[in-house]
Chain A
Amino acid sequence: MKVLIPSPLRSYTGQTEVEAGGESLGALLADLDRRYPGIRFRIVDEQGAIRPHIRIFVNGEQEFDLERPLLSSDGVQIVQALSGG
């Protein structure tokens, strides 16, 4: 499925949109990390929680649960929630 990558993480992917797969959001992030080593730790901390300034959307709906099942037809968007100056 297609995954939209925010600009702070494009140093890993080199492109705005990449292909990755997985039966759940967590599996998708694991696949992303296989393709682009290190990227998952920038999205999810060592305790398995989505980092405070990361937002993940599935088909335009914000998703907080990494167990959320995915279909190959889903679209995933990862964005950075900026704050401060």
Chain B
Amino acid sequence: MKPRAVTGVGGGSASQRAKGRGRLAVLVATRKGAWIFKGEAARRRWQITGPLMLGQVIHHMVLDPRDGKTLLAAAKTGHLGPTIFRSKDFGRTWSEATRPPAFSRAADGGKGRVVDHTFWLTPGHPSEPGVWYAGTSPQGLFRSEDGGSTWEPVSGLNDHPQFRAWMVDSQGGTPDGPALHSVIVDARDPAHLYVGMSSGGVHESVDRGRTWEPLVKGLEVVEGFDPANLGFHDPHCVRACPANPDRLFQQNHCGIYRLDRPSSEWVRVGRNMPKAVGDIGFPMVVHPRDPDTAWTFPMDGSGVWPRTSPGGRPAAYVTHNGGKNWKRLDGGLPRRQAWWTVKRQAMTMDTRQPVGLYIGTTGGELWASRDEGRRWNLVARHLPEIYAVEVAEAR
């Protein structure tokens, strides 16, 4: 079947999105390949395409919203080097980047860094067609200006001595490797960027990445450590609200936060979550039209950090007032003995009315909600561990 043209979240006219015309697709990246779930306008039936790139570890698969047909996938086989796969026909055929993200060669005698995998992909600003950003592990930021075929290091971040100290190296981070993620391009200004570094904090650039400033005031770190050392900061997922790009929400290793620019001080709105659930997790999702509404998917961060759904009872939580109150959303989800959770790129939304939500689980299940999280439906199971879920919407 010939795929229809689609756009990323935010594409198409506001009226089209609100009325929910046309098909949409859910892009699922997993530990063993990728799948595309194409849905009709009602979002009740899904046609599965895949596996794509079977056997490749796919950390992220994202549509270019500027042309509505180009997909980029951050790939690594378990045993070969990392690369970026590109499809110009919405997944029917794929080719490799001619120069994938790679660190600069070390000077003689120096110890150079090696990209283990690309972890995060972000399309550039609409005014800059062909521009993409990639975040890697070990941590680095890379930029492409030719639609993802060739990539250059963003030296202002990657090679800055202070940032390199905060980023730590592949031996100093978590066993899966420290990751640069949450690359955000301000919808009003292509030179205004945010990134998250796990670990290393949140940082902002207003000059396309040439210079960076930390943005960590108000963020907590693990008890007993010094928050003045940015190496102890661990943002898990940062999102800017489409309806108000000056508002950011963040799921952090140490809570849920909101930031309203021009302030540079985060507020821990996760304190308002139920104590029994806590405010630890990985994903963060913001409403496409209402900057007071955001969702998270808590996990158990107590004790040894089981990183399961708290109590084996998975649930999303939503706020409709910027984090003052949170409401549990578990309709249709397992009520007990469900120990999966949701990784940081594995929860997203569409822009329909009402908004659809999508989660991919560590247990290989894809769940969808047509009503902003009140009721969840199982779309697929028995997939490999899901690393990322993104939505592409029909024009």
Across the interface, do A45 and B81 meet the contact criterion of CB distance under 8 Å?
yes
Q: How far is the CB of A38 from chain B (nearest CB, A)?
A: 5
Chain B 29-49 residues near chain A, CB threshold 8 A: none
Across the interface, do A38 and B98 meet the contact criterion of CB distance under 8 Å?
yes
Across the interface, do A47 and B106 meet the contact criterion of CB distance under 8 Å?
yes
- B155 contacts chain A at the CB level, 8 A cutoff: no
Across the interface, do B105 and A48 meet the contact criterion of CB distance under 8 Å?
yes
In the complex the two chains form, what is the Cα distance from A54 to B81 in whole Å?
10
- A61 contacts chain B at the CB level, 8 A cutoff: no
Check A46/B115 contact, CB under 8 A, given A37-B98, A41-B100, A41-B102: yes
Across the interface, do B80 and A42 meet the contact criterion of CB distance under 8 Å?
yes
Question: Smallest CB-CB separation from B113: which chain A residue?
Answer: A47
Number of chain A residues whose Cβ lies closer than 8 Å to a Cβ of chain B: 20
Chain B 85-104 residues near chain A, CB threshold 8 A: 96, 98, 100, 102-104
Residue among B80, B98, B102, B115 facing the most chain A CB atoms (10 A cut-off): B80
Across the interface, do B78 and A84 meet the contact criterion of CB distance under 8 Å?
yes
Chain A 38-74 interface mask (CB, 8 Å, partner B; 1/0):
1001110111110101100000000000000000000
Give the residue of A47, A51, A54, A82 whose beta carbon is less than 8 angstroms from that of B105: A47
- Per DSSP, chain B at the interface is loop
Residue among A51, A82, A84 facing the most chain B CB atoms (10 A cut-off): A51
In the complex the two chains form, what is the Cα distance from A8 to B106 in whole Å?
28
Residues of chain A contacted by B382 (CB below 8 angstroms): none
In the complex the two chains form, what is the Cα distance from A53 to B79 in whole Å?
5
Question: Smallest CB-CB separation from A45: which chain B residue?
Answer: B114
- B158 contacts chain A at the CB level, 8 A cutoff: no
How many pairs of residues, A versus B, come closer than 8 Å at their CB atoms? 52
- Per DSSP, chain A at the interface is loop
Across the interface, do B81 and A47 meet the contact criterion of CB distance under 8 Å?
no
Q: How far is the CB of A56 from chain B (nearest CB, A)?
A: 14
Chain B 277-295 interface mask (CB, 8 Å, partner A; 1/0):
0000000000000000000
- A80 contacts chain B at the CB level, 8 A cutoff: yes
Question: Smallest CB-CB separation from A85: which chain B residue?
Answer: B78
Across the interface, do B112 and A41 meet the contact criterion of CB distance under 8 Å?
no
Check A8/B80 contact, CB under 8 A, given A46-B112, A46-B115, A47-B112: yes
In the complex the two chains form, what is the Cα distance from A22 to B77 in whole Å?
28
Across the interface, do A38 and B96 meet the contact criterion of CB distance under 8 Å?
yes
Residues of chain B contacted by A4 (CB below 8 angstroms): none
Check A81/B79 contact, CB under 8 A, given A37-B98, A41-B100, A47-B105: yes
In the complex the two chains form, what is the Cα distance from A43 to B113 in whole Å?
16
Residues of chain B contacted by A37 (CB below 8 angstroms): 98
Question: Smallest CB-CB separation from B77: which chain A residue?
Answer: A8
Across the interface, do B79 and A47 meet the contact criterion of CB distance under 8 Å?
no
In the complex the two chains form, what is the Cα distance from A9 to B83 in whole Å?
13
What are 28 A-B pairs with beta-carbon distances under 8 A? Answer: A8-B79, A9-B80, A38-B83, A38-B98, A41-B100, A42-B80, A42-B81, A42-B83, A45-B102, A46-B103, A46-B114, A46-B115, A47-B105, A47-B106, A47-B112, A48-B105, A51-B80, A51-B81, A53-B78, A54-B79, A54-B80, A80-B79, A80-B80, A81-B79, A82-B78, A82-B79, A83-B78, A83-B79
Interface of B toward A, CB cutoff 8 Å: 77-81, 83, 96, 98, 100, 102-106, 112-115
9 interchain residue pairs of minimum CB distance: A53-B79, A47-B112, A46-B102, A45-B114, A42-B80, A42-B81, A80-B79, A38-B96, A41-B81
